[in-house]
Structure 1
Amino acid sequence: MPHDPAVLDAVVKAYDIRGLTASQLTPEVVYDLGAAAASIVADDGPFLIGRDMRPSSPDLVDAFARGLQGQGVDVIDLGLASTDLVSYASGELGAPAAMFTASHNPAGYNGIKLCRADAAPVAIDSGLAELRDLVLAGVPAALPEESRGQRTERDLLEPFAAHVRGFIDVDVLGPVRVAVDAGNGMAGHVWPAVVAGLPIETTPLFFELDGTFPNHPANPLEPANLVDLQRVVREGGHALGLAFDGDADRVFAVDEHGRPVASALIGAVVADRLLRAHPGETILHNLICSRVVPETIEAAGGTAVRTRVGHSFIKRRMAETGAIYAVEHSGHFYFRDHHRADSGLVAALVLLEAVADAGVPLSEVVAPYDRYPSSGELNFTVDDPQARVDAVASAFAGRGASDREDGLTVVLDDGWFNLRPSNTEPLLRLNVEGDDDAALSRLRDEVTSHLLAPV
């Protein structure tokens, strides 16, 4: 059936497919996306499908599977899964995969994260645009019944959990108390399996799978969604708290006092830990990460490589450089031995190993890395994002090193900033870091004044 081009343009994003299930990502659209994926993403083997706990996920999985099967492609249904479980399955089985999730979005949304065999990402420039265009042009008719693909089920939770545990030295992991907020998302399904048999005492928050999110949205980036975790950590004498997003591929941490810990600091701790076990390796960091990340990598004897923001860029650079690990400022942590995919669960276990090994709570573990104050990500709604970036670039011309690798980055004697357009909204995202609080305030206020001035 013909589809509205505006709808397809709206749901096909830079890195995934995502939209409202009532009006955009309907079973009819998803069926055709499955049929299109048969020729664009699939290969000679089966196609893997996993899903989160959203009420719409089973019907959308069925529609996508029927679309694939109608083109003669066999489907392996992984059932309930976190995104990193699906990445693991794609890598281990050498098969393309689809994860049905809208991650941290509200209950009315759903989406599809696609990868080729070996967890290779499918983004707008590596398949998603083709997928959209084929659906708009009209997918091929389904094959006769006898030629259609078969659908089978496979449960990989236990082997996946063993895989995650393989990233730490279990003998080093002493007892540690942690509160974990699953936000009624997929961490509630995978975390118990991952920590089974480990000396980790977990206080679970909202582990019941419920895609209506009755307690709070599964979006740990919003401070309001950390309040329950912070209270439990402070009251219960925990060494730290962990919060996962809806599909459990991102993890965020609070220390024993309930204070949020920046993802860059977690990334630095994990990098330090990995380089102890794998000296001399290359580690990537996106250009919005704190300077402490590359400084930590170099101090530990590794090679730090700077990269653009975004998982498709990072995975490509990991393949090119052989990097063992990559850090993003947004709670994504990528591991070469996890098929270069991101895993909040692996990062969480390595962090717990560091805390247990040190024998002190999280605040003391991160203290040596917490040396540069930062603004966090500040968003500005503007009419012409590129004109604003150009205006800021002109204002800082000649005052320090600058580049346009991803937006505008300017490095000064006492700090740096990055200003980059959003991929999906008329927003500019500003990140500022200073040598001290005064330098941070000065630089943030100056950049902001140029952003808000008439162009």
Structure 2
Amino acid sequence: MADLSKIIKAYDVRGLVGSELTEDLARAVGAAFVQVLGVTSVVVGKDMRPSSPALSRAFEEGATSQGADVLDIGLASTDQLYFASGSLDRAGAMFTASHNPAAYNGIKLCRPGASPVGQETGLAEISALVSRYLDDGLPPAVATPGTVTERDLLADYAAYMHQLVPLAAARPLKVVVDAGNGMGGHTVPTVFADLPFEVVPLYFELDGDFPNHEANPLEPANMADLQRAVVEQSADIGLAFDGDADRCFVVDERGEIVSPSTITALVAVRELRREPGATVIHNLISSRAVPEIVREHGGTPFRSRVGHSYIKADMARTGAVFGGEHSGHFYFRDFWKADSGMLAALHTLAALAEAPAGTTLSSLLADYTRYSASGEINSEVSDVAERTAAVEAAFAGREGVTTDRLDGLTVSSPDWWFNLRPSNTEPLLRLNVEAADAEAVAALRDEVLAIVRA
């Protein structure tokens, strides 16, 4: 039986095109997706990668062979696909490898209403069926196969964005946007078309070979062009989207990268103003400032594991109005609990545009940035569990120190915290440290890494 563990991961399907992710596999996923979910209609979108049209067509062939009708919305950002799934109440499949290099592609799957499909919510069953289909062939087509129709939903998506974050009366701003040759170059022109902003575009040409830089804003090197352009253009703000535009990162008027935790706190305050007392989700590597600010504004913070399936499940369980991850994913209850880089961008623009004339983004965000952080540091280790236990033992019993195992190991004191999490796919430990200042961060980081890498 085919081993698919390398490409069917915790939350999606992703692999090297041709050697790992093939049209045959995509076709089998389409058939298995319909079989496992028992759905009769599927909406399909694709990003700008050269392999996406053929892979999505193969998926559609598998889905229609099992009787499901397919609505193909063509080129789309991932949050545009979520909009289609939510507004039309159809299961969805998005063909994208997000921020991964050009040689990769993938499939993000969701149930009707943009509800996630992960290992615990159907992906394991889909994987088992796909493995069988690759070995034994697809099941026979049903007597009445489904049909494929095409529909452009970009204008509808843009209208819904404006409904959630009205900006027509905002004060003018100069905004540099780096789409990284990804799907932000598809969505931003339509969403921003009638807004009172001067947009300076960087790399809006859709190109799945990423000729300028990888479409991964989490890597500081990929933000350098945006930072430089914001300063050179004397812009008010810079926005960077990843390849499928479901994540957004922000640069202030000085060209400084804004922490996603700061954006989480900013959007949380806006949502709490609209719905006082609401719950706000933050993952456990978000800054300690996030739950502090949520409480200060009358909300209830809820700490979640890292990963969109956990965030979405916790949002559903708690009724949270909003959720943010330190990776740049932002989730909105009014967007079917799905993540949207565009909504995060619009909220940030709205906050700046509603501030008094002359207010800079850095001054607006000053109270939301309270601590220093290390960023994520990866260490390759031979025994993840043994090294984690060694770190836990080293800090056990220290005065004022607590530990928990919600997701990896989190060690906290009144003045600092760190989290050590294993990778889902590699023999890596990921370390995040936060403390009062850069010196304290460096000292704690070095102490933990000395144990991890011993």
TM-score normalised according to structure 1 size: 0.96
Report the counterpart of residue 28 of structure 1 in structure 2: 24
What is the alpha-carbon distance in structure 2 between the residues aligned to residue 21 and residue 164 of structure 1? 33
What is the Cα-based RMSD across aligned positions, in Å? 1.3
Distance 1:67 1:27, change over 3 A: same
Q: Which range moves more in the overlay, 334-343 or 157-166?
A: 157-166
| Amino acid in the other structure paired with 2:9 | K
Cα contact 1:184–1:210 (8 A) shared by 2: yes
Cα contact 1:325–1:336 (8 A) shared by 2: yes
Report the counterpart of residue 302 of structure 1 in structure 2: 299
Deviation per CA, 1:357-379, whole angstroms, max 9, x where unpaired?
Answer: 12422211211111101111111
Matches within 5 A, 1:204-215: 204-215=201-212
| Amino acid in the other structure paired with 1:148 | P
Q: Which range moves more in the overlay, 132-141 or 274-283?
A: 132-141
Tell me the SS of whatever aligns to 1:188: helix
Tell me how far 1:173 sits from its aligned partner.
2.2
Cα contact 1:48–1:76 (8 A) shared by 2: yes
What is the alpha-carbon distance in structure 2 between the residues aligned to residue 129 and residue 87 of structure 1? 21
What is the alpha-carbon distance in structure 2 between the residues aligned to residue 443 and residue 357 of structure 1? 39
Report the counterpart of residue 447 of structure 1 in structure 2: 448
Cα contact 1:75–1:151 (8 A) shared by 2: yes
Question: Is residue 425 of structure 1 aligned with residue 420 of structure 2?
Answer: no
Report the counterpart of residue 395 of structure 2 in structure 1: 396
Cα contact 2:251–2:258 (8 A) shared by 1: yes
Tell me the SS of whatever aligns to 2:100: coil
Cα contact 2:42–2:91 (8 A) shared by 1: yes
Tell me how far 1:193 sits from its aligned partner.
1.2
Runs of 4+ in 1 over 6 A off after TM superposition: none
What is the alpha-carbon distance in structure 2 between the residues aligned to residue 390 and residue 292 of structure 1? 28
Aligned counterpart in structure 1 of residue 33 of structure 2, from 26, 30, 37: 37
| Amino acid in the other structure paired with 1:11 | I
Matches within 5 A, 1:112-151: 112-138=107-133, 140-143=138-141, 147-151=144-148
Question: Is residue 376 of structure 1 aligned with residue 375 of structure 2?
Answer: yes
Deviation per CA, 1:54-74, whole angstroms, max 9, x where unpaired?
Answer: 010000111000001111111
Tell me how far 1:441 sits from its aligned partner.
2.2
Report the counterpart of residue 80 of structure 1 in structure 2: 75
Tell me how far 1:226 sits from its aligned partner.
1.2
Tell me the SS of whatever aligns to 2:417: strand
What is the alpha-carbon distance in structure 1 between the residues aligned to residue 15 and residue 314 of structure 2? 29
Tell me how far 1:278 sits from its aligned partner.
1.8
| Amino acid in the other structure paired with 2:192 | V
Cα contact 2:28–2:138 (8 A) shared by 1: no
Distance 1:225 1:293, change over 3 A: same
Question: Is residue 262 of structure 1 aligned with residue 259 of structure 2?
Answer: yes
| Amino acid in the other structure paired with 1:36 | A
Report the counterpart of residue 417 of structure 2 in structure 1: 416
What is the alpha-carbon distance in structure 2 between the residues aligned to residue 224 and residue 382 of structure 1? 26
What is the alpha-carbon distance in structure 1 between the residues aligned to residue 215 and residue 68 of structure 2? 33
Tell me how far 1:420 sits from its aligned partner.
0.6
Distance 1:67 1:171, change over 3 A: closer
Tell me how far 1:284 sits from its aligned partner.
0.5
Aligned counterpart in structure 2 of residue 327 of structure 1, from 324, 328, 348: 324
What is the alpha-carbon distance in structure 1 between the residues aligned to residue 125 and residue 41 of structure 2? 21
| Amino acid in the other structure paired with 1:375 | S
What is the alpha-carbon distance in structure 2 between the residues aligned to residue 352 and residue 112 of structure 1? 31
Which runs of no fewer than 5 residues in structure 2 stay unpaired? none
Tell me how far 1:140 sits from its aligned partner.
4.4
Which runs of no fewer than 5 residues in structure 1 stay unpaired? none
Aligned counterpart in structure 2 of residue 12 of structure 1, from 8, 13, 17: 8
Cα contact 1:42–1:96 (8 A) shared by 2: no
| Amino acid in the other structure paired with 1:71 | Q
Report the counterpart of residue 57 of structure 2 in structure 1: 62
Tell me how far 1:310 sits from its aligned partner.
0.7
What is the alpha-carbon distance in structure 2 between the residues aligned to residue 38 and residue 397 of structure 1? 49
What's the % identity of the aligned pairs? 55
What is the alpha-carbon distance in structure 1 between the residues aligned to residue 339 and residue 368 of structure 2? 22
What is the alpha-carbon distance in structure 1 between the residues aligned to residue 251 and residue 152 of structure 2? 32
Across the two proteins, how many residue pairs are aligned to each other?
Answer: 447
